[in-house]
Structure 1
Amino acid sequence: MARPDGMDKWKTLEHNGPVFPPDYEPLPSNVRFYYNGKVVHLSPLAEEVAGFYGRMLDHEYTSKDVFNKNFFKDWRKTMTEDEKELITDLKLCNFKEIDIYYKEQSEKRKAMTKEEKLELKQKNEEITLKYGFCLLDGHKQKIGNFRIEPPGLFRGRGEHPKMGKLKKRVQPEDIIINIGEKAKIPSPPAGHKWKEVKHDKTVSWLASWTENIMGNVKYIMLNPSSKLKSIKDFEKYEKARKLKNEVGAIRSQYRADFKSREMVVRQRAVALYFIDKLALRAGNEKEEGETADTVGCCSLRVEHIQLHEEKDGKQYVVDFDFLGKDSIRYSNSVAVEKRVFKNLKHFIQGKSPSDDLFDRLNTSSLNKHLASLMEDLTAKVFRTYNASQTLQNQLNELTKEGMTEPELLLAYNRANRSVAVLCNHQRAVPKTFDKQMENLQVKIKEKKAQIKETKKLYKEAKGDAKDKLKKKLKTLEDGMKKLEVQRVDKEENKQIALGTSKLNYLDPRISVAWCKKWNVKIEKIYNKTQRDKFRWAIEMAGPDYQF
């Protein structure tokens, strides 16, 4: 089994295993499901899965054909033979009462009394105390995700071909426990047993299982704030900093390879150019069939690019259009070096649209070549390096003396956004976006009216009253500026996911140093969980740190 990290061997490990979601509670008898206008009493498993769909009736997913087709196919697998024979058309299904019931349950949770909330909080704290910590080599360490995800319907990102499929309930029989040889093995829920118990000291996971949608292995790991995780984080960014010192020579090498007589060397050079300049993922070979048609650099096909000798006043332009990781579309138009352009024309010559662009190359051979250039160098290290370097450069360029805190935060988000655009970290426009913008506009309008009224009073006032109004006017104008900056920031970020790069690709010391240099509270950049994860960087980085 692949190691999720490269930590050194541990000696002893004790933990209490994972926490499973509660068993399904059947719907009350007054909450009914209808098929073709008639009440149908579903078997427990079929009813549970119907509930997953019923509570999503207001969501855009249930309006998508792929989602509905996948859901109905998997739902029928949970039905009895009689139910399968009766329920053959999703359009004839009426989940409305189920939808209303779950909405009511949600409102009840929101309306809990202080006492009820406190009782629930205490129960969760007791669970965390028992299951949320482990003893690793005698030291108490926090566990990151000790709760097993409940069953539900898979959504995926982008237009994922598997959206709507059933994420099955994970059973103890699916779980592999990893624990010290002399430690007490945690007891599975009554009537169940673990799939396997291991004592693998070379990995840092405590439990693992294979999820049924993509066939990926999931892990219960140490919390990101744990010492071992912090060390791994530090090493990751140090590796990217090491690349900074080597990248000049590597770039000179792959540019020289553009002219190589060997086709495989030229293809590798152009792929590396894209990975370096565009932060493309290398891409992994994957199985045929239902898996989403997603590609990375090495698996690009001829149909994913278009070449233009000239476009929009630029020479040697390449248009990219393909589905990347998580089915997120990558659409970009880039001017490239003349030699790259000429090579691409040669690579596609005589090929059909479905043929591989880099037919002599794969991810394994590319990473093997990278490792020969620098120890442990992979395509992902380039992504981390380019993301961090972009943030550093943008912060240096955008941050100016005399900026207010809102202006500084706007500059930071703009720098972060440059990274998110580079890494193609997109998101759908939030459903609440228009309402939030409308509320902001109302606040701005009210603030303008207050400023206008205060200015009028200020002109007429004298003595102490004039001084007080001057202070009030300053406060109002500062508040106005803050709201206007918020509006710009929100508009610019509506389709960009800033969190992914901030947590996974950006050396946190850059952000910490920037905060310290410009007297911005670190809480404005990182929430509490993120501050725990990057505690090492907060302690380490001074205001003069540069990536």
Structure 2
Amino acid sequence: DGSKWRFLEHKGPVFAPLYEPMPDKVKFYYDGKPMKLSAPAEEVATFFAKMLDHEYTTKDIFRKNFFKDWRKEMTSEEKTKITDLNKCNFSEMNEYFKAQSEARKQMSKEEKQKIKEENERLLQEYGFCLMDNHKERIGNFRIEPPGLFRGRGDHPKMGMLKRRIRPEDIIINCSKDSKHPKPPPGTKWKEVRHDNKVTWLASWTENIQGSIKYIMLNPSSRIKGEKDWQKYETARRLKKCVDRIRTQYRDDWKSKEMRIRQRAVALYFIDKLALRAGNEKEEGETADTVGCCSLRVEHIKLYPKMDEQEYVVEFDFLGKDSIRYYNKIPVEKRVRLQHLFHSISSASPICTLFPSFHSRCPLQTSILNKHLQELMDGLTAKVFRTYNASITLQQQLKELASDDSLPAKILSYNRANRAVAILCNHQRAPPKTFEKSMQNLQTKIDEKQNQLSAARKQLKAAKADHKASHDDKSKKAVELKRKAIQRIEEQLMKLQVQATDREENKQIALGTSKLNYLDPRISVAWCKKWDVPIEKIYNKTQREKFAWAIDMAEKDYEF
């Protein structure tokens, strides 16, 4: 939901291109024999063929789900014949797609320019809407093509067929008095509605999890900017009353009511560890991921003493997107003894950590958020994450601020951002090209060190020459050699800083916190204060998203 609009006009979405059948020379084989597939079955087969080199296609659950959904697209004759996925040979299809991909890379400049111009034409026609006299950029105006669902982690639905979205699946939202988007010839929309209380332009329900997908405005749009600003203003309001809230949940640890004690311990974890609250979800519908409220006994271990610290809790669970959360932290004595020890000592590993909220129900996010609303208007568990992320960045930047060179300042900023990413558990797998790119960087560093060594020898020779001749020409040569050394030293330092930054960043995703949890005004003020070009911190898309913050003038913004 967003602010109410009065007028909304747009062209509707761009649909995925229709399926182009495989050339006759590219064969699918079943049990060693070539077999011509019907168009619907062939299209779904190509989805699997494209992924042949991916580990997904080796997973049993993926293969089982794919085969089940593929059979639904087959003719009765195909169904009778194709009964075993292990007897299917997609290798020729796979080679064909690899060759196509290679051909795209080898395109001439003119061919690439043609594609670029066509994309630009589509962007101009479909990528903007008119909302209350403002031309606004649309975020994702292209409908995702059909394919196989991957999911994150060990998702029980991986391998299922993501169906093609057609005009008949789409609800269009625009104003009554606008030119309504036209569906492709011979088709019609599911519905055209005029709901000015929401800011989406089109929506549909995807078939895998039954979730609703939306076409929304671009993050750089006016309404998105306002919502962003409101989010950070709410986190700033929390800053003013966080001490009172912390005092209250500590007092609640002593409550006679178990549900109040449990709620207070959950809030302590959400605040101290920036844990997500963990939303209720259907069993078996998604991978087994949890948040604070849905933690089970098996996800934590207690230690009276560990690494010279008392009352340590060890967390180990899969969080959002199946990313493992592992952390060991000392907790306050009352949290460990009165609540955690009591819960764990008598419970089975699969029991919820916060069991007795009402009847036999675990602590629910909705109930926790309702309590937070009473503590501060607009307060939810997520606001703690935004607040703790932003305040961490601000504190880190104060400690790291220095008069260093520009590359060193950017390294300092990335280190501050990294501290936030670690707090929020924003991990990533090291990029596949990581080792190769590090080797390339090291080669450049070695070359630069050789250059520096040669330049120092040249300076030494120039000094000796000047000592012998004492003329202006030799003096000038010494100065030039000195400047050359200075330039090479700066270039070397830049490469070394880059290598440090890349190594430290190997398994940390900085983008998520930068885009969603960090008040951009902190970064903008820091850039202004230390003369760091804003382009070094935010890329073009991020600068568009945070235009509202970049326009501010202060150098000493306090979150």
TM-score range, shorter chain: over 0.9
1:535 aligns with 2:547: yes
Q: What are the Cα deviations for residues 486-536 of structure 1, in whole angstroms up to 9, with x where unaligned?
A: 111111111111111110111011111111111111111111111011000
Is the counterpart of residue 356 in structure 1 residue 352 in structure 2?
A: yes
Corresponding residue to 2:399 among 361, 379, 397: 397
Partner of 2:433: 432
**Does 526-535 or 347-356 show the bigger shift?**
347-356
The alpha carbon displacement at 1:112 in A equals 2.3
Equivalent pair of 1:160/1:326 in contact (CA under 8 Å): no
Amino acid at match of 1:398: L
1:170 is paired with a residue whose SS is coil
CA gap of 1:70–1:433, structure 2 versus 1, over 3 A, is: farther
Match of 2:538 among 523, 526, 532: 526
C-alpha distance 64-482 of structure 1, shift in aligned 2 (>3 A):
farther
- 1:241 equivalent in alignment to 2:242: no
**What per-residue deviation string (whole Å, max 9, x for no partner) do you get for residues 373-396 of structure 1?**
000100011111011111111111
Superposed, 1:129-528 pairs within 5 Å as 129-342=124-337, 343-359=339-355, 360=357, 361-401=363-403, 403-461=404-462, 462=465, 463=474, 464-528=476-540
Structure with higher Rg: it is 2
Q: C-alpha offsets along residues 352-385 of structure 1, whole Å, 9 cap, x if unaligned? A: 1111111112111100000000001000111110
One-letter identity of the residue aligned with 1:252: T
Q: Give CA deviations for 1:33-78 in whole Å, capped at 9, x if unaligned.
A: 1222211212212222222222222333334333333333332332
- Name the CA distance, whole Å, in 1 between partners of 2:486 and 2:387: 43
Partner residue of 2:27?
32
AA in 2 matched with 1:533:
K
Superposed CA deviations along residues 306-326 of structure 1, whole A, max 9, x for unmatched, are: 111111221111111111111
Amino acid at match of 2:529: K
- Stretch deviating more after TM superposition (171-180 or 251-260): 171-180
Find the aligned partners of 1:525 and 1:71 in 2 and give their Cα distance: 42
Partner of 1:99: 94
Paired residues of 2:209 and 2:285 also in contact (CA < 8 A): no
- Contact 1:322 1:329 (8 Å CA) reproduced: yes
SS in 2 for 1:299: coil
Deviation at 1:420, TM superposition (A): 0.9
Deviation at 1:254, TM superposition (A): 0.2
Q: TM-score, normalised by structure 2?
A: 0.94
Whole-Å Cα distance in 2 between the matches of residues 502 and 332 of structure 1? Answer: 22
Amino acid at match of 1:106: S
Q: 1:102 and 1:353 mapped to 2: Cα distance?
A: 47
Larger CA deviation: 93-102 vs 405-414: 93-102
Q: How far did 1:433 drift? A: 0.6
Query: Partner letter of residue 348 of structure 1?
Result: I
The separation in 2 between residues aligned to 1:541 and 1:90, in whole angstroms, is 63
- 8 Å CA contact 2:154–2:287 kept in 1: the answer is no
Contact preservation (8 Å) 1:320, 1:333 = yes
Letter in 2 for 1:510: I
Q: Give the distance between the partners of 1:489 and 1:73, measured in 2 at CA.
A: 46
TM-score (norm 1): 0.96
- Provide the C-alpha distance between the structure 1 equivalents of 2:99 and 2:110, rounded to a whole number of angstroms: 20
Measure, in 2, the Cα distance between the counterparts of 1:541 and 1:315. Answer: 47
Paired AA for residue 495 in structure 1: Q
- Measured in 1, the distance between the counterparts of 2:84 and 2:448 equals 55
User: For 1:465 and 1:455, how far apart are their aligned partners in 2?
Assistant: 13
Tell whether the 8 Å contact from 1:303 to 1:354 is kept in structure 2 after alignment. Answer: yes
1:217-255 Cα deviation digits (max 9, x unpaired): 111111111111111110110000010001000000000
Q: Aligned pair in 2 of structure 1 residues 73, 472: CA closer, same or farther (>3 Å)?
A: farther
Structure-1 separation of matches of 2:486 and 2:64: 59
Separation in structure 2 between the aligned mates of residue 112 and residue 161 of structure 1, nearest angstrom = 40
Q: Provide the rounded CA distance (Å) in 2 between the counterparts of 1:138 and 1:467.
A: 61
| Whole-angstrom distance in 1 between the partners of 2:155 and 2:397 | 35
Query: Which letter maps to 1:444?
Result: I
Task: Return structure 1 stretches of 4+ with deviation > 6 angstroms.
Answer: none
Q: Which whole-Å CA distance do the structure 2 matches of 1:177 and 1:228 have between them?
A: 19
**Cα distance 1:454–1:69, how it changes in 2: closer, same or farther (>3 A)?**
farther
The structural deviation recorded for 1:213 is: 2.4
Per the alignment, residue 69 of structure 2 pairs with 74
Aligned residue identity for 1:236: K
What do the CA deviations read for 1:332-371 (whole angstroms, capped 9, x no partner)? 1111111111111112342211111111121111000000
Q: Is the 8 A contact 1:158 1:329 kept in 2?
A: no
The verdict on how the C-alpha distance between 1:103 and 1:345 changes in structure 2, with shifts beyond 3 A counting, is same
Of stretches 215-224 and 162-171 in structure 1, the one that deviates more from structure 2 is: 162-171
Q: Match of 1:298, SS? A: coil
Structure 2: how far apart are the matches of 1:357 and 1:379?
18
1:187 alignment partner AA: K
**RMSD, matched Cα:** 1.5
Does 2:541 align with 1:546? no
Output the CA distance in 1 between the equivalents of 2:511 and 2:553.
21
1:110 corresponds in structure 2 to 105
Once residues 492 and 187 of structure 1 are traced to their aligned partners in structure 2, the CA distance between those partners, rounded to angstroms, is: 51
Structure 1 residue runs of 5 or longer lacking an equivalent are none
Q: Give the secondary-structure state (helix, strand or coil) at the position aligned to 2:315.
A: strand
* Matched pairs, number: 541
Deviation (angstroms), 1:541:
4.8
Q: State the alpha-carbon separation in 2 of the partners of residues 484 and 477 from structure 1.
A: 10
Amino acid of the structure 2 residue aligned with 1:120: I
Tell me how far apart the structure 2 counterparts of residues 468 and 155 of structure 1 sit (CA, whole Å): 59
Do the aligned partners of residues 65 and 101 (structure 1) sit closer, same or farther apart at CA in structure 2, a change above 3 Å counting?
Answer: same
Which residue identity lines up with residue 114 of structure 1 in the other structure? K
